[in-house]
Structure 1
Amino acid sequence: MRATAVRRTALAACAVSLALLATACGGSSDAGTDTGGGKNDTGASTSGSGSAPKDSGTEALSAAELETASLKQGDVEGHKIAEAGPDDEVPADGVKADKAACLPVVHAMYGVAEAGSQATSKRKVITDPKAGAKKSLEDMTDGEAEGALKAAFDLTSTFVALNAYDGTAGQDTFAALKKAAAECAGGFTATVAGAPQKIVSITEEKVTGGDEAAAWTLVQDDEGAKAPFKLVALRKEGTVATLLSFNLAAGGDGGAKFTVPTEVVAAQAKKLG
């Protein structure tokens, strides 16, 4: 690749990074991935198999309490956190799935509340870009410019949605999502705001947090180009949190190097209590 072309591409990547950061304002926790099941550091059970006993007496958090349980700037070291805005909202009637059984997965991906939600809170979390070389692009070699390009795209963005439910609605919502992810492992097509999105596979991963937790890798195919997403669900009493993450640099390799953002998951689990 010619030096000028590389530098222009690197500049474009930086512009993308800055645009993402513009949507987010300006203590790390222990990782939340689980390699063998059991309990997390707060004593909460994992969700890899089975489910928690039903608790019909759960009372939904108020809107103010849900805000307190939501991530804020400074909660996750090395990340920028901001409230989601109107442009991030996807109405329930704006999402569809060619297989009805897969709809809970689509709802979780876009933070759409299930029936019975009493309050909702949403956040956007993005990793801070790594400090780059102080050398200007014009002074970089082709290899250095390509490295700058890769670094500019190596950002993980996570959309977090919290929904508060009464009674057993939170447990039912969590169970419905797990069932949908299992039944739709072979893929499905979602339609979001009129645009089709083809999910070709859903693979379960291990994660801990709250009373129940589950995680998956979803692979999207866009005309042959594959992009992985990480979807995590946490439940604490009647509150269900869903986290959808993607990384601009992940793609052609199937996303093997793109992992669940455990620091974000752990921070949200901690705030849920």
Structure 2
Amino acid sequence: MRATAVRRTALAACAVSLALLATACGGSSDSDAGDGKNDKGGATSGSSSAPKASAEALSAAELEAASLAQGDVEGHKVAKAGPDDEVPADGLKADKEACLPVVHAMFGVAADGSKATTKRKVVTDPAKGAKKSIEDLTDGEGEAALEAAFDLTSTFVALNSYEGTAGADAYAAVKKAAAECAGGFTATVAGDEQKVVSITEEKVTGGDEAAAWTVTAEEDGAKAPFKLVALRKEGTVATFFSFNLAAGRDGGAKFTVPTEVVAAQAKKLG
């Protein structure tokens, strides 16, 4: 398979799959501070019937220590997110005001009242393949190598700590928005309009309460699935927004909620 053909296919796949998360292919470095303090354990489940309880916000140092680090998720690379990986709150809009908490959750933007924030990028390690040069691959080998190269899940993880019941309120706002906007809406991300055609609920467990969804975006007739998870542990709310380049090309049959990333983060939160 010619190297130029591989590169062309790669670019086409990237254009579809990164419609909503254009910045996530980039940089690494830097994030907010933190150093963490875990509370008593007991990850529980999914829906959201946990009673509201007043919580003490983790400090920046405590939140940093409770955030994912390299080695916390087997088979994944973890790095602090940098400015190139983020879209600021004023760069995010929705044509339906009720849907804005979902857009904010996708990009790790804190709700009002957040006391500290950390952000991470977590990417699956590429499968180890044959060490042939791209120019030496046959058509079949080239297609298989391309498929493997794009079958990587990248997850943007944000932790935000809140005082009192603000964390429970922030989590509830994301759940409410996902339900109200299940039929779709249009988001504006850094000036570019992106159409979300559906939000469907998935299963996930962890923390005091957790919920997950498949967010399906569409551009020029091509659909791309993304996974969104919101998890609350006492006054800390974690959001996870994931995409998979191969899923953007094949309709998402192999793309699932990154439960190992969610479980690792839930464990560090206590």
Normalising to structure 1: TM-score of the pair? 0.86
| Partner residue in 2 for 1:156 | 153
Q: Confirm or deny that 1:126 pairs with 2:138.
A: no
Paired residues of 2:26 and 2:85 also in contact (CA < 8 A): no
What is the SS of the residue equivalent to 2:6?
A: helix
- 2:230 maps to which residue? 233
Query: Where does structure 2 lack aligned partners over 5 or more consecutive residues?
Result: 15-22, 30-40
- By how many angstroms is 1:21 displaced? 8.1
1:135 Cα offset (Å)? 2.3
User: What residue is the counterpart of 1:44 in the other structure?
Assistant: 43
Q: Deviations over 1:175-228 (max 9, x none)?
A: 111010000000000101111111000000010000000000000001101000
Deviation at 1:253, TM superposition (A): 4.1
Distance 2:27 2:77 in 1: 9
Kindly indicate whether the alpha-carbon contact (under 8 Å) linking 1:79 and 1:127 is maintained by their aligned counterparts in 2.
yes
AA in 1 matched with 2:155: T
- Output the CA distance in 2 between the equivalents of 1:105 and 1:143: 40
Alpha-carbon distance in structure 2 between the residues aligned to 1:22 and 1:106: 20
- Give the Cα separation in 1 of the matches to 2:231 and 2:174: 11
> Hey, what's the Cα distance between the residues in 2 that align with 1:180 and 1:107?
11
Superposition pairs of residues 69-218 of structure 1, within 5 angstroms: 69-218=66-215
Structure 1 residue aligned with 2:4: 8
CA apart distance, 1:60:
0.4
| Deviation of the 1:73 alpha carbon | 0.5
What residue is the counterpart of 2:18 in the other structure? none
> Residues 144, 24 of structure 1: CA spacing in aligned structure 2 closer, same or farther, 3 A cutoff?
farther
Distance in 2 between the 1:22 and 1:202 partners?
Answer: 26
AA matched with 1:247: N
Give 1:265's aligned amino acid. V
Task: Mark the runs of 5 or more structure 1 residues left unpaired by the alignment.
Answer: 26-41
With 82-91 and 113-122 compared, the bigger mean Cα shift is at 82-91
1:24 Cα offset (Å):
5.2
Is the contact made by 1:24 and 1:126 (CA closer than 8 Å) also made in structure 2? no
Taking the aligned partners of 2:111 and 2:187, their CA distance within structure 1 comes to 17
Offset, 1:146: 1.1
1:257 positional shift = 1.7
Please say if residues 185 and 202 of structure 1, whose CA atoms lie closer than 8 Å, have aligned partners that are also in contact: yes
Q: Deviations over 1:13-63 (max 9, x none)?
A: 49x8xx9887458xxxxxxxxxxxxxxxx6433132x4211112x110000
Aligned residue pair count: 248
Equivalent residue, structure 2, for 1:35: none
- Residue 99 of structure 2 contacts residue 185 of structure 2 at CA under 8 Å; is this kept in 1? yes
Distance (Å, rounded) in 2 between the aligned partners of 1:130 and 1:228:
22
For 2:163 and 2:82, locate their aligned partners in 1 and report how far apart those are by CA, in whole Å. Answer: 26
- Aligned in 2, Cα 1:88/1:137: closer, same or farther, shift over 3 Å? closer
The answer to whether the 8 A contact 2:231-2:237 is kept is yes
CA distance in 2, matches of 1:21, 1:94: 18
Check whether the contact 1:45–1:210 (CA below 8 A) recurs between aligned residues.
yes
Q: Residues 137 and 252 of structure 1: is their aligned pair in 2 closer, same or farther, counting only changes over 3 Å?
A: closer
Structural RMSD (CA): 2.0
Report the AA paired with residue 147 of structure 2.
Answer: K
